[in-house]
Every structure is written in C-alpha cells, then in structure tokens.
Amino acid sequence: MSKVVIITGASRGIGAATAKLLGCSEYKVCVNYLTDKNAADSVCGSINENGGVAFAHKADVSDEAQVLDMFEYVRNQWGEVTHLVNNVGVLFTKTELINVSAERFTKVLNTNVLSAFLCSKAFVKQNVAGGAIVNVSSIASRTGAPFEYVDYATSKGAMDSFTKGLSLELAAKHIRVNSVRPGFIQTDIHADGGEPGRVERLSSQIPMQRGGTADEVAQAIAWLLSPQSSYVTGSFIDLAGGK
C-alpha cells in the first residue's frame, strides 16, 4: 500500500517544511490550507518538481463537513489516508487573559484542537493498521504562556491529553499516535501574534541560544511517522533548544 499523508495547515511554516520533507520520500502528500492558495501551490510545485506527488486542498479543518470532504477527495485520488499530521495551529495578538474574548478563545480551541479531533476521527474510521498520526503541540502546554497566549497554551494542553488518550485507544490496532512540542521556531506565526521578531528577542533565554527552524521540527515529525519509530506511541518530542 502506498503512503498517503494529509498535513493540515501546510501552506507555510512547519506544515510546509514537513510536506516538502515527506514529499521527497515515498509519501503522496495532501497539502491542506485555508486562505493562501498560492503558497500551498508553491509547496506542491516544489514537491512535484523534485519527483514527488502532491496536491493542495483548501479546507477549514475546524469544520467537520470540510474535513470529511477532504478525506473523501484524497481517498478517491490515492486510496486510504495512511498518515496524518495534525499541524494546524493559530494564535492571536499577545495579551493577558482579561483581554481575551470568549469568541477568540473558542476560535483558538476550534482551530487548534477540534481540528485534530475531527481529522483523527476521519482517519481512524478508515482503520488502516500500521498508520500513524503526529500531533503538533507546543512547549506552551507546560509553560502556560502567561500574559501572552493563555488561550493558545490551553489548546496545546488539550492536544497533549488528546495525544495520550488516542494513542492508548489505538495502540492495539497498530495505529501509533505521537506528538512534537516545538519551542520558538522561525515561522510567520509570531507576526500573527503581533511580534515578528519574537524568536530573536527570546533567543538569549533559550539554553541553545537560538530559535529552531521548521525543517528541524519536520525531521522529528517524519521520524515519528516512519517505521524507524515503530515501538513509539503516546510519546512527545520537545524541540525547544533545551527549554
């Protein structure tokens, strides 16, 4: 059976780096995106130019109907989805909790957590033994991101519980579920929080004295999806330069 992977939120950042990496090995890659078609097409273009197989698929993965449509579309093109990366994650302007509206909190939880629940459910329904899921969490799940992104940190705490619980539900079915927890990684997400230079500002507080790259996170995701990690499930890899 060929390897078919859906990567949510893969038009840029960690998702895009993961798509390019997996596209260089034996995976057929569905590059999910929400708004930036050009960026998603460019990720696919780079994979296809290098001899891989990829297409972009627009879907809001916090919407169940769109998730089900995406899985059906991919299945019709390539067969069962064998691997899933629940990568999508958003944050909004950094601020303390008192300024976070219920609407914002709900949006963050829906985009970061409900999406993983919906995609994983669609994945599990196919019952592909030997499949694997990687959830992209954050070290914010343990730091709590006070005065900045408590809503975001809460969503990542939920992702960690989700990873643990789902891994145990699926272990005997030979479907592995693991997680990466990046620290400060050089992507555009920090501009969304209102501080494009966030990683540079905080570098001196990181034991390794630098932020990480999306490619470094992608390597860990690829390993957790691969047969090289065949006895690993319910596990977390922190990529945070020692933080």
Residue positions annotated with a catalytic role: 152
Encode 180-193: b = buried (16+ Cβ within 10 Å), e = exposed.
Answer: bbbbbbbbebbeeb
Max Cα distance, the chain (Å): 51
Q: By the 8 A CB rule, do 173 and 127 touch?
A: yes
Residue 16 burial (CB count, 10 A): 25
By residue count, the chain amounts to 243
Of the pair 127, 205, the CB lying nearest ligand NAP is at 205
- Rounded distance between C-alpha atoms, residue 61 and residue 228, angstroms: 29
CB of 168 to ligand NAP, least distance (A): 22
CB of 196 to ligand NAP, least distance (A): 12
Of the pair 187, 233, the CB lying nearest ligand NAP is at 187
Q: Which residues bind ligand NAP (CB under 6 A)?
A: 8-15, 32-36, 60-62, 87-90, 111, 136, 138, 182, 184-185, 187-189, 192
CB of 152 to ligand NAP, least distance (A): 7
Residue 188 identity (one-letter amino acid)? D
CB of 187 to ligand NAP, least distance (A): 3
Of the pair 120, 138, the CB lying nearest ligand NAP is at 138
Of the pair 130, 216, the CB lying nearest ligand NAP is at 216
CB of 27 to ligand NAP, least distance (A): 18
- Rounded distance between C-alpha atoms, residue 53 and residue 126, angstroms: 22
Going by C-beta distance under 8 Å and a sequence separation of 6 or more, which residues neighbour residue 146? 96
44's enclosing H/E stretch is: helix 37-49
- Rounded distance between C-alpha atoms, residue 92 and residue 193, angstroms: 5
- Rounded distance between C-alpha atoms, residue 32 and residue 18, angstroms: 12
Of the pair 87, 167, the CB lying nearest ligand NAP is at 87
Q: Nearest-5° angle of CA 207, CA 223, CA 154?
A: 55
